[in-house]
Amino acid sequence: MLDEHALRIFPGLEGALANAGALVMRSFKATPNPELLRRHAGVAVVGGRDKPGLIARLERATATLAVVPAPVIGALPPGVPPTRDLLGPGVVDLLPAGTPRAPERILLMARVPVVTGARPKAPVSPAGGAGRGVPGAPVDELVAVASSTGGVWVVGAMLRDLPPSGRAVVLAQHMDAEFVSFFARWLSGTSGWHTVVVEGEVLLGAGSIYLPAGGMDLVVDGDRARAVPPNSRYVPSADRLLSSVASRGRPGVGVVLSGMGSDGAAGLAELVRAGGTGICQEPATAVVASMPESALRASPAARAVPPDTLAQAVAMGAHRSHAGP
């Protein structure tokens, strides 16, 4: 199963997969996950003009089968190396942008049975706590991240390399409500951070990453994070999250990653004006560059950083914010 940006970064992929539709159909009937398949209807496809019809046939063919992992191929944005730590639930292969013979490789991997459960995962909870951190540990550095299309893999790689001690992360990842629980489990296993899905109000603790429940925004108020009803077309709103962090007193670091539109630009500018550090994914490495481009225009003092050095830049930026001017 592929997300839409895979079809964009591998020219000709959709046609190649459509021509092999019968093979893909047989492959998915062998080891499907009906829940995952239905959740990805409309955004994960195997291509062709008959895309909706093919998804419907796959759903019908797998509706009565036991829930087991489906083969998932992750297509990575430029600048994100295909390390094993990024293998999320059901992922059997990672393809960097520009991978030659991608259709053949995808069709081959679609036949591979998936075995999961061997790698320990950090916990996911609907309320507070910490995995790699200490429950209730004070937060010395707060990192606020805005991410949308193409940013998921970058978030995972950045957190994997970012030391959690004394640090908490709040995340606005544009996402349909039904994907949030799956994303939280994937993010926890990928990064090793304890992942908290905020449904009401929770106390921030070091070593944890916080994201709002589906269909909600996330705001920070002092030492707490709250899920609140959305107030814009972007859900969750990056501007709203970053603005709330800016008013915290010690705003820390704001990070804007790949995505469509300008959400996060105004919030990052507010955070930088409040004395925080602004960091953006280098637009040339983004699947969709408009979010980091807009943020860099709004905050000329923000740094443009490639994905493989984002964690280092965040750690250095948090130290500067903590030390003050």
Task: Kindly name the residue from 93, 217, 239, 263 that is annotated as catalytic.
Answer: 263
Active site residue 174: yes
What is the distance between the alpha carbons of residues 151 and 292, in angstroms, rounded to a whole number?
11
Instruction: State the helix-helix crossing angle for 265-273 and 238-246, rounded to 10 degrees.
Output: 10
Return the CATH number at 188: 3.40.50.180
Residues 99 and 181 in one domain: no
pLDDT (tens, 9 = 90+) of the chain, 325 residues, equals 444 556 666 776 656 655 544 444 444 433 333 333 333 333 333 333 344 444 454 444 444 434 333 445 677 777 777 776 675 544 556 778 777 777 666 655 554 433 333 333 456 666 433 334 344 578 899 999 999 987 888 998 899 999 988 999 999 999 878 778 878 887 888 888 999 999 999 999 999 999 999 999 999 999 999 999 999 999 999 999 999 999 988 889 999 999 889 999 999 999 999 999 999 999 998 878 999 999 999 999 999 999 999 999 999 875 554 444 4
Contact 203, 132 (CB under 8 A): no
Is residue 250 exposed (0-12), middle (13-18) or buried (19+ Cβ within 10 Å)? middle
What 3-state class would DSSP assign to 89? coil
- Which of 54, 80, 109 lies at the terminal end of a domain, its last residue? 109
Task: Kindly name the residue from 5, 27, 93, 174 that is annotated as catalytic.
Answer: 174
Residue type, 72: V
Contact 254, 276 (CB under 8 A): yes
Residues 36 and 143 in one domain: no
Residues 183 and 273 in one domain: yes
Length of the chain (residues): 325
Residue type, 325: P
What is the rounded radius of gyration, in angstroms, for the C-alpha atoms of the chain?
20
What is the distance between the alpha carbons of residues 317 and 271, in angstroms, rounded to a whole number?
13
Cβ-Cβ contacts under 8 Å for 21 (sequence gap 6 or more): 46, 48, 50, 54
Residues 100 and 129 in one domain: no
Q: Indicate the number of domains in the chain.
A: 2
Classify 150 in phi/psi space as left (phi over 0), alpha (psi -120 to 50) or beta.
Answer: left
What is the span of the domain harbouring residue 154?
124-323
Task: Kindly name the residue from 147, 148, 262, 290 that is annotated as catalytic.
Answer: 148
In a domain, 198, yes or no: yes
Residues 53 and 167 in one domain: no
User: Which H or E element spans position 148?
Assistant: none
In a domain, 143, yes or no: yes
- Which of 109, 136, 157 lies at the terminal end of a domain, its last residue? 109
CA nearest neighbour of 16 among 55, 46, 44, 43: 46
In a domain, 84, yes or no: yes
Residues 91 and 162 in one domain: no
Residues 32 and 144 in one domain: no
- 185 secondary structure, DSSP code: H
Active site residue 148: yes
Residues 138 and 95 in one domain: no
In a domain, 115, yes or no: no
In a domain, 158, yes or no: yes
- Which of 54, 83, 109 lies at the terminal end of a domain, its last residue? 109
Residue 37, pLDDT score:
34
In a domain, 119, yes or no: no
Residues 103 and 242 in one domain: no
Q: pLDDT tens-digit profile of 138-186? A: 889 999 999 998 788 899 889 999 998 899 999 999 987 877 887 888 7
